[in-house]
Amino acid sequence: MLEINGLSAHYRSVRALRDVSLNVNKGEIVTLIGANGAGKSTLMNSIFGVPRASSGSIVFEGADITRLPSHVVGKLDIAVVPEGRRIFQRMTVLENLLMGRTPEKRSISDDLERMYEMFPILLTRSTQRAGTLSGGEQQMLAIARALMSHPRLLLLDEPSLGLAPIFIRKIFSVVKELNERFGMTILLVEQNAHHALRVAHRGYVLQHGEIALEGSGPDLLANPAVRAAYLEGDTAQLDAA
């Protein structure tokens, strides 16, 4: 569904990505893990052309989207939950959900019913301003808002960042349910390697803007270098792997 081939990208004179290649097949959860500054969010943003690829290609469902304007990519069946959630703080929960909806797809009531079934807390908070929600509730709202457009590919950028353990477990449970129950294809960018690799079919390790390792979720979770770098906190171990 998504193919990234030899992608390099720069922020002015600083190279953020170097010759990155990865793919996401239909029906997969693929995770991209790495430390702060590794280039994870840059890769996610480059799909929408910010920053624009300096070389390489990005292909979605067989169509090259590398040079498409951001607003055109935004109209494809790709939804993103950005790092930091970026919900509309002064709008209600319901208004936020409606902002994510694609008008021509299904009825409003069906869409809302589906979101409230998956995230019951949003129903009880539907008239509440989104900015008054807890961090975990805001993350659920951000995911639900993205799902209102019925995407074929869901991009999640650091969904567990800054959340309490109870909400981290809930978020990854939702990711797994979206894939297993609805067949959602998901690209998951995460620092929380333990949770991300447990739900992922496959994963890539990004380090210094380059792919350092790749493999199945269980294989990477068991890899001594990955465990040392991302589960035990010694990133130098991965450099030596």
- Residue pLDDT, tens place only, 201-216: 999 999 999 999 999 9
Evaluate whether residue 43 is within a structural domain: no
Closest to 206 in 3D by CA, of 223, 229, 222, 184: 229
Closest to 126 in 3D by CA, of 103, 109, 150, 105: 109
Evaluate whether residue 130 is within a structural domain: yes
Evaluate whether residue 231 is within a structural domain: no
Examine the pLDDT at 49 and tell me if it is beyond 60.
yes
Closest to 235 in 3D by CA, of 199, 208, 211: 208
Examine the pLDDT at 130 and tell me if it is beyond 90.
yes
> Looking at residue 235, what is its pLDDT?
44
Q: For the residues 9-34, what does the mean pLDDT come to?
A: 92
Evaluate whether residue 95 is within a structural domain: yes
Examine the pLDDT at 237 and tell me if it is beyond 50.
no
Evaluate whether residue 132 is within a structural domain: yes
Evaluate whether residue 126 is within a structural domain: yes
Examine the pLDDT at 177 and tell me if it is beyond 80.
yes
Evaluate whether residue 125 is within a structural domain: yes
> Structurally, how many domains does the chain consist of?
1
Examine the pLDDT at 81 and tell me if it is beyond 50.
yes
% the chain with pLDDT above 70: 94
Q: For the residues 29-45, what does the mean pLDDT come to?
A: 90
106 pLDDT tier (thresholds 50, 70, 90): low
> Looking at residue 103, what is its pLDDT?
62
105 pLDDT tier (thresholds 50, 70, 90): low
Angle at 144 between CA 138 and CA 148, to 5 degrees: 145
Q: Which domain holds residue 128?
A: 86-150
Examine the pLDDT at 240 and tell me if it is beyond 60.
no
Cα–Cα distance for residue pair 158/84, rounded to 1 Å: 8
Evaluate whether residue 104 is within a structural domain: yes
Q: For the residues 181-191, what does the mean pLDDT come to?
A: 93
> Looking at residue 52, what is its pLDDT?
87
